[in-house]
Chain A
Amino acid sequence: MMIIIAPGAVALIAAILAAAISIVDKVVNNYGEVELDINDGKKKIKLDGGESLLSSLAGQEIFVPSACGGRGTCGACKCQVTSDVGPYLPTETPFMTKENLADNIRLACQVKIKSDISIKIPDELFNIKKYDSIVKSIVDVTHDIKEVTFDLQGEEINFEAGKYVQLVVPPHGKIKGSTQRAYSMASKPGEKDIVRLLIRLVPGGIATTWVHTELKEGDRVELVGPFGDFFRTPTDTTMVCVAGGSGMAPFMSILFDMLDTGELDREVWYFFGARTVKDMFYLDELRELEKKMPNFHFVPALSEPEEGTPWDGATGLITDVLDKYLKEEIGTDKKREGYLCGSPGMINACNNVFTANKVSLDDIFYDKF
């Protein structure tokens, strides 16, 4: 008898308390209908208060970048709040610079909408959509990088070459919640019906392991985007691009877009660093591009070439190769812009090479991942 009574009593008490919690939640967390005003009346939305700004916006199909999925740990969901929503939370302050504080920039995932609120977000965020895509193809481009192409099923994506999308990784195996990860698009803006990503296997990485071991052609995957502010300037300054590994993606998009739009006069140098021949990819495509674009120069370099494997390109650390070319080939007399995509370590090292060769930090653009 006791065997039934004991767990029954505990369960009953827990159930009563759970009911009490949800009743209080319904009553106390009911802030009624509130108005969300975006960009000085450009868009006015009525919604139920009580939720975070981030999820309320997502409910309206307006997607603010949120790499951590609203946990307050990535700082990506910053947006300007122009009405009073109370003081900063301790979870927000670590992400705020002095300028942010002065402009009342807040983390959208931490701000709870309790009354009418007005915010300002960049206009291009209205362009961000959630895409219900189907995996069209998965190709191994190296031993640890896969080129995954997603079919947007009739929807169109409008973006500038260099931007990224967030891949929504569903719960799988031991990973209980859904997570999002950002990847630069390798497809070009002209290809509006697909998105192509280069995904390198990161040991222990949630998203990359999932892509490499579980994702199959024909699977449905959600993508959110486009995001980012990494794209070429609308000038004719010489571009010096440096990438490693899957940092290839945005440059494929940028270069092929330049070819498509006839931007052939601009001088572009593209340095791509890999360790060995088996880490090198897309060589043929880029060589082909070199033939079509007279001012484009592609410089692949291996840092640890293996003996016995033929290689006729440059060797050495990509920073050394870059330094040599900046001094000898590209020259330091005219203005140059640096474009970097790769690990933080590579970016910092390249930054140093650039500044040592008189490229100012203001003219260096990068995407760290």
Chain B
Amino acid sequence: MAPEIHPIVLLFASVFTSNILLANFLGMCSFISISKDMKSANGLGLAVTVVLTITSMLNWVLLKFVIIPLDLIYLRYIIFIIVIAATVQILEMVIDRVSPALYLSLGIFLPLITVNCAILGVALFMQIREYNFVQTVVFSFGSGIGWWLAIMALSAINKKIEKAPVPPALKGPGITLITIGFMAMAFIGFSGMLSVQ
């Protein structure tokens, strides 16, 4: 049975209180490595949001009509991953055709998304929490926006840190991890407001 959460509540919860990155720590590797400049961060955030929404929808349909009826729940990882990989591939070709400029800025990031655990994480959450289709769409879109928001915020902070007198030993990933810790703490502040479990 789908839990009774209003889609609007779910949207806010997935963007803020249960931010996929800062509350669940999923999709960290690309988050840390691509957050150095705003433009790439923006591109990657957009790409994650789009891929997340599309793949979750597809995976929900497969879950409902193939995986559960055939009792294949133990194969969900492999099926979800195939869907994600194929979607990324198709998206890559379409973006190259429709908007070469966007393709150029996403170029190397799009294939990276295939192995972004936030994408698989969202698909698994929607299965464990038994969301219905509308909830899945809202939740995955919200999670994408939440990820996008977090990476933009981090790249903005990184810009400031560039000029700050950071101790040499902490430069680079060190200070980034500490920053992410602070960001996560700030997001914990939202957690009492809404709950989506």
Contacts and interface: CB of A to CB of B under 8 A. Distances in A.
Interface of A: 2, 5-6, 9-10, 13-14, 17-18, 20-21, 24-25, 28-29, 86-87, 89-90, 112, 114
A13 B82 contact: yes
28 contacts: A5-B70, A6-B70, A6-B72, A9-B66, A9-B75, A10-B72, A10-B78, A10-B82, A13-B62, A13-B79, A13-B82, A14-B82, A17-B83, A18-B86, A20-B86, A21-B86, A21-B89, A25-B93, A28-B94, A28-B97, A29-B93, A29-B97, A86-B100, A86-B104, A89-B104, A89-B107, A90-B107, A112-B96
B193 interface: no
A296 B70 CA distance: 84
Contact of A90 (B89, B93, B100, B108): B108
B33 to A, nearest CB: 14
A131 B79 CA distance: 47
Contacts of A90: 107-108
B90 A20 contact: yes
A17 B86 contact: yes
A87 B101 CA distance: 9
Nearest to A88: B104
A14 B72 CA distance: 15
Contact of A87 (B86, B89, B104): B104
B90 A21 contact: yes
Contacts of A9: 66, 70, 72, 75, 79
A62 B107 CA distance: 28
Contacts of A86: 100, 104
Nearest to B71: A2
B79 A10 contact: yes
A271 B166 CA distance: 56
Interface in B76-103: 78-79, 82-83, 86, 89-90, 93-94, 96-97, 100
A13 B83 contact: yes
Contacts of A13: 62, 66, 79, 82-83
Contacts of A17: 82-83, 86
A86 B105 CA distance: 12
A29 B70 CA distance: 36
Contacts of A5: 70, 72
B88 to A, nearest CB: 10
Contact of A24 (B66, B70, B94): B94
Contacts of A10: 72, 75, 78-79, 82
A218 to B, nearest CB: 43
Nearest to A14: B82
Contacts of A89: 104, 107
A18 B75 CA distance: 19
Contacts of B90: 20-21, 24
For the complex of A and B, the 8 pairs showing the least CB-CB separation, nearest first, are A17-B86, A28-B97, A28-B93, A24-B90, A14-B82, A21-B89, A24-B93, A86-B100
Given A17-B82, A112-B96, 13 more contacts: A5-B70, A9-B66, A9-B72, A9-B75, A9-B79, A10-B78, A10-B79, A20-B90, A21-B86, A24-B90, A29-B97, A89-B104, A90-B108
B181 to A, nearest CB: 31
Contacts of A29: 93, 97
A24 B83 CA distance: 15
A254 B160 CA distance: 61
Contacts of A25: 93
A66 B75 CA distance: 43
A199 B76 CA distance: 52
Nearest to B87: A17
Nearest to B103: A86
A28 B71 CA distance: 36
A76 B62 CA distance: 47
Contacts of A14: 82
Contacts of B100: 86, 114
Nearest to B74: A6
Contacts of A6: 70, 72, 75
Nearest to B86: A17
Contacts of B96: 28, 112
Nearest to B95: A28
A5 B74 CA distance: 13
A362 to B, nearest CB: 39
B34 to A, nearest CB: 13
B97 to A, nearest CB: 5
Interface string B44-69: 00000000000000000010001000
A6 B104 CA distance: 39
A20 B97 CA distance: 16
A117 B86 CA distance: 31
B66 to A, nearest CB: 6
Contacts of A18: 86
A28 to B, nearest CB: 5
Nearest to A19: B86
B60 to A, nearest CB: 14
